[in-house]
Amino acid sequence: METIWRVAVAYFFVLIALRLLGKREFGQLSPLELVTLLLIPELLSNALQQGDSSMLRALAGVSTLLLLVFISSLVTHLNKSVEEAVEGKPAVLVAHGEFIVGNLNRERVTPGEVFSAMHQAGLDALDQVRWAMLESDGKIAIVPEPPSGTGTQETSSPSGG
């Protein structure tokens, strides 16, 4: 019966703590935050099998971990330079149908990954791509060239790249 009580306490504690972090925090985890949150089972595993003091230590450890996640997200939200240092900047991989090889190599992105993102965006050829950008979340965003004859060709670079 004690094991059932410990699991229930741990479950409700983590449930309430993650809920307090908010949907944005839980739905948009950075790799660092995800790894941090994956430490929760490790912190709780021994407490589920040992005495009361280990349960209190585990809950204190999880609380500290979640507080650090919250503080780091708050600081990155409030300070642009910290946000850039922690989350990085988008990188332009394709500009007006041309690969930017230096950025592909620096970001370790293959042309095949760019073509896959193009196909998901409904594009078949590289010359249909105005911009392909590696976003700070690791996804490749595709901005297609406007249809020919619209006269809206721009030569400026996208912001952040």
Task: Give the residue extent of every domain in the chain.
Answer: 2-85, 89-144
Dump strand ranges (E) for the chain: 91-95, 98-99, 129-134, 140-144
Q: Which amino acid is at 145?
A: E
26-81 confidence digits (pLDDT tens): 555 666 666 677 777 877 777 777 665 677 888 888 888 778 878 888 888 899 88
pLDDT tens for residues 108-161? 999 999 999 999 999 999 999 999 999 877 789 999 999 876 555 555 556 555
**Domain 89-144: CATH superfamily, name plus number:** bsu07140 like domains (3.30.240.20)
Instruction: Report pLDDT for 96.
Output: 94
Residue 160 gets the label, from left (phi > 0), alpha (psi -120 to 50) or beta, of: left
Which is more confident, 5 or 158?
5
Cβ neighbours of 108 (radius 10 Å): 8
**How would you classify residue 122: left for phi > 0, otherwise alpha for psi between -120 and 50, otherwise beta?**
left
Q: CB-side exposure of 58: number of CA atoms within 13 Å?
A: 24
Structure confidence at residue 24 as a pLDDT band (50, 70, 90): very low
Model pTM score: 0.56
